[in-house]
Structure 1
Amino acid sequence: MAVPCTGAVFDGPVKRYQSSDGFERGFCTECGSSLFFHPKGSDLHGIPFGLFDEQPDLPFKAEFFIDQKPACYSFSDETRNMTGEEFNMKFRSG
């Protein structure tokens, strides 16, 4: 689960890796923690929810790649659902 952030700035020991065509991920070079996923060419950074201390009220608004979710996943919150194709059209460059 990730929190979408725009305009994110990452200081410290951060390394970016191309994880797939058009996407990159960021990791801490000291501890190896996953810090974000980022569709290249966009301002979106998906930051793992677990990186935020004591933020129980962050809203659950969207599910991405809904067409690839396991059948057993079912969230009770009303969310905006985006297929992988819809996500790629909105956030991915070329």
Structure 2
Amino acid sequence: MTRSELIAILLQKHPHLQVREATRLVNTVFGGIARSLANGQRVELRGFGAFSVKERDPRLGRNPKTGEQVQVSRKYVPFFKTGKELHQRLNSPHKKG
């Protein structure tokens, strides 16, 4: 699902909203999550899951094109762990295609 598809669904469920308002709502939610992660904070959405940031240590990698070894510096990557309700829904035997 893309951001524009999410906005379209929001507009279908809440026809009183204008496109501009729905877009602002979606951008505010995603912006808040991104800002929190950039500040090293964890974001938990009960029943859905939790976003956090994990640190990856520096390592020796390979350039796939040349095979040459390259030093990969330390970096931070987003991590998502599903909540219990979402996990159960994904693994439900009645899940739709």
Q: TM-score range by the shorter chain?
A: under 0.3
Q: Which has the higher strand share?
A: 1
Q: Which has the higher helix share?
A: 2
- Considering Cα pairs closer than 8 Å and 6+ residues apart, tell me whether 1 or 2 has the greater RCO: 1
Which structure has the larger Rg? 2
Question: Which TM-score applies when normalising by structure 1?
Answer: 0.23
